[in-house]
Structure formats: C-alpha cells, structure tokens
Amino acid sequence: MMTKLKVTMLGTGSPWPDVERSGPAQILWIDDQPILIDCGEKVSYQLSKANIDLASIDYVFLTHLHADHILGYGQFLLGRWFSSRKKLTLIGPKGTKQFHQQILKMYEEDIAYKLSLGRPSEGLLDTNIIEIESSGEIEIDLPKHVKVRTAEMIHSILTYAYR
C-alpha cells in the first residue's frame, strides 16, 4: 500500500504581525500522522482551527531559529503537555536544544507548580531533541519507515530544508 502525503498550511506570515496571517507553520501528513514543520506565532490556535489535536503531534521539525519560525513553540509545548503524556521529538539545527531548554527555564515556576499538583513530567521533560549536524539523512523513527534527508539552505542563519 502506498504512503499518502498531504500538506496543511497553518501559517505563511512573516515576522511582522498581521491579523489575517499566522507565523510560519505547516503540517506534513504521512497517512494519518501529522508532523509539524516550524512553530510560528499562533500555531496552537491554527492547529485547533484545523481540528488537529495537539496531542496527535509527536514530531516537530524546525527549519531554523528565527523568531517568526519559533514564537509559538512555548505555547505549543505546554499546551501539548496539558493534553498528552506522549513523548515529543524536536528536530532542528544546532541551538535547538538550548532553545528548548530556555523555554523550560522561562516557565520553570509554572511547570514546577503543575508538577507539584501531580501532573506527570512525561510529554514535557522527556522531549527527545535531535540537532542536525550536517546535510544528509537523519536517524528518526517516523511512521511507515519514512526517511528524512536534510539540506543546508542559504539564509542569514543556519537553516535546513527537509525531504
């Protein structure tokens, strides 16, 4: 049986706020598995609007760490944690792990409070982070044994395209 691929555009905006557009974010569907590419502003809202449950997303790929591509990550991460105990895998260029840890640090008091109430740490503190070292194939356990290749793009900061 052939793998079915589909793309859902969640946001195609730029760094400048626009009431009619959201920050860069897309869902790549591999059959019924949604994979989030970039995490721009309003991504959680756009996912809800598209009837895509945050808990259904197990993989997030970041193309690069410009603000307009990552501003929605904190809300996505915490919102997903509230609705899921499933492990998240975050893939991106060098600096992705530090970025993720900064988000946790920013919200450490809120996270500690929720943990003290008994909320399990699974789905948040166990995030699997893969930093891309160079162009080529990356090892990741995607559905249907899909393989991912990366290619460095010309941009003002380290940026990867995914195939």
**What is the 3-state secondary structure of the chain?**
CCCCEEEEEEECCCCCCCCCCCCCEEEEEECCEEEEECCCCCHHHHHHHCCCCHHHCCEEECCCCCHHHHCCHHHHHHHHHHHCCCCCEEEEECCHHHHHHHHHHHCHHHHHHHHHCCCCCCCCCCCEEEEECCCEEECCCCHHHCCEEEEEECCCCCEEEEC
pLDDT value at residue 142: 79
- The three-point CA angle 137-94-87 to 5° equals 75
Question: Which residues are catalytic, by number?
Answer: 68
pLDDT value at residue 1: 66
pLDDT, tens digit, 9 for 90 and up, residues 131-149: 998 998 888 877 777 889 9
Contacts of 73 (CB under 8 A, 6+ apart): 39, 43, 60, 62, 99, 100, 103
Q: What are phi and psi of 22, to 5 degrees?
A: -115, 165
Contacts of 77 (CB under 8 A, 6+ apart): 88, 100, 103, 124, 127
pLDDT value at residue 146: 82
Positions of the chain with pLDDT lower than 70, given as ranges: 1
State the amino acid at position 77 in one-letter form.
L
Q: How far is CA 38 from CA 14, 66, 76, 117, 118, in A?
A: 13, 10, 11, 31, 31
Pairing mode, strands 33-37 and 136-138: unpaired
pLDDT value at residue 3: 79
